Amino acid sequence: MSVCEILSAKVDERKQGSDCTFNGYLEDYLGMSENGLDENLRKAFEVILEEEPDAKIITNLKHEISKDAVSNQIIRYKDVFKLNSRPLITPYMIYVEHEDGESRALLVLPYSKANYLYGKGMYYCLTEPGSEFADVKNEIVSIVSDNSAEIAATFTNMFHEKAGALQRTLDKKFFSNYEDLKKIALEAAEEEKKEAVEVLPTLEDRTQQIYQYVVHWFLLKKVLYVQYMVNKVILKTEHDGNIKQQRNQAKVNADAVAFLSYSEMWRAGTENENRAVEPKA
């Protein structure tokens, strides 16, 4: 089964489905008056449509976070499994199948350094062993860019270059090595933590915001763990080929991500109030 076959089977809210908010032709989506696209993404998607008139888009795709995945068990971030249903939400995936049967999907997030890491984390979750997209991982690339032409060109290049090579090229625009990646991840985690303290007490219903924070911290942990484990240079130079040692350090790196606990976020600013009530897991 190709990535396009998997994505095409998702049922959106227009058809009383719960898999995503929209799943259909990109042309139809761009024609909607209230699609929420920023100008950069709109321009990118319009160029893609010119090149690929049959391109489709799926928005806010919901996905489970696997308790069985080995990396998730090692990370041991229990709060993420307190979230109900399918808490991982992928903003945009543009996909198309060519006449020769080749299928590709581009996972797109609005621009920010942190979003690039969230996108990588989403990719790792979608494609990890045993997951729905595991067998089509080489048909998916994740991108975050403030350059609309780069987004469109990447989608075109997916049919001519290997996904892994394209992803590594995109990586280099945000970090030159693992330590750079780690710095971005830890800074993003701290920013989310500070924001949570300020924002949560102002919300009447804080459920979705708490879900977002928990998922974001999990994705940062995921990226720090997996990116370290797939680095063969680190295995050789830092751990002398000892995979167990590398795994232990990968977990230490993931553990360095700062976060507020699920319970703390429900209690934030409500010590003397009864407004926020933590739902039962």
% of the chain beyond a pLDDT of 90: 93
pLDDT in tens, 205-239: 999 999 999 999 999 999 999 999 999 999 999 99
∠ CA 259-262-264, rounded to 5°: 80
Which residues are within 8 A (CB) of 256 and not within 5 positions of it... i.e. 6 or more apart?
A: 182, 186, 224
Indicate whether 278 pLDDT > 70.
Answer: no
Domain boundary among 155, 171, 187: 171
Q: Are 211 and 82 part of one and the same domain?
A: no
Q: Are 227 and 249 part of one and the same domain?
A: yes
Domain total in the chain: 2
Q: Are 254 and 146 part of one and the same domain?
A: no
Please indicate, yes or no, if residue 278 is contained in any of the structural domains. no
Q: Are 218 and 162 part of one and the same domain?
A: no
Domain boundary among 125, 143, 171: 171
Q: Are 124 and 232 part of one and the same domain?
A: no
Average pLDDT over residues 257-265: 96
Q: Are 162 and 184 part of one and the same domain?
A: no
Q: Are 165 and 199 part of one and the same domain?
A: no
Q: What is the pLDDT of residue 271?
A: 60
Please indicate, yes or no, if residue 275 is contained in any of the structural domains. no
Please indicate, yes or no, if residue 227 is contained in any of the structural domains. yes
What 3-state class would DSSP assign to 246? helix
268 DSSP 8-state letter:
T
Domain boundary among 140, 171, 202: 171
Q: Are 157 and 18 part of one and the same domain?
A: yes
Q: Are 202 and 145 part of one and the same domain?
A: no
Please indicate, yes or no, if residue 248 is contained in any of the structural domains. yes
For 145, the domain range is 3-171
State the pLDDT confidence band at 274, using cuts at 50, 70 and 90.
very low
Please indicate, yes or no, if residue 115 is contained in any of the structural domains. yes
CA distance 168 to 30: 30
pLDDT in tens, 160-186: 999 999 999 999 999 999 999 999 999
C-beta of residue 224 within 8 angstroms of C-beta of residue 185 = yes
Q: Are 241 and 210 part of one and the same domain?
A: yes
**Residue 224 tokens, joined:** 């720090």
Average pLDDT over residues 105-132: 96
Please indicate, yes or no, if residue 123 is contained in any of the structural domains. yes
Q: Are 165 and 184 part of one and the same domain?
A: no
C-beta of residue 88 within 8 angstroms of C-beta of residue 215 = yes
Please indicate, yes or no, if residue 273 is contained in any of the structural domains. no
Q: What is the bridge-based pairing of β-strands 103-108 and 140-143?
A: parallel
Please indicate, yes or no, if residue 237 is contained in any of the structural domains. yes
pLDDT in tens, 13-45: 999 999 999 999 999 999 997 888 999 999 999
Q: Are 164 and 41 part of one and the same domain?
A: yes
Predicted TM-score (pTM) above 0.75: yes
Q: What is the pLDDT of residue 269?
A: 78
Which residues are within 8 A (CB) of 246 and not within 5 positions of it... i.e. 6 or more apart?
A: 228, 229, 234, 235, 238, 239
Q: What is the pLDDT of residue 157?
A: 97
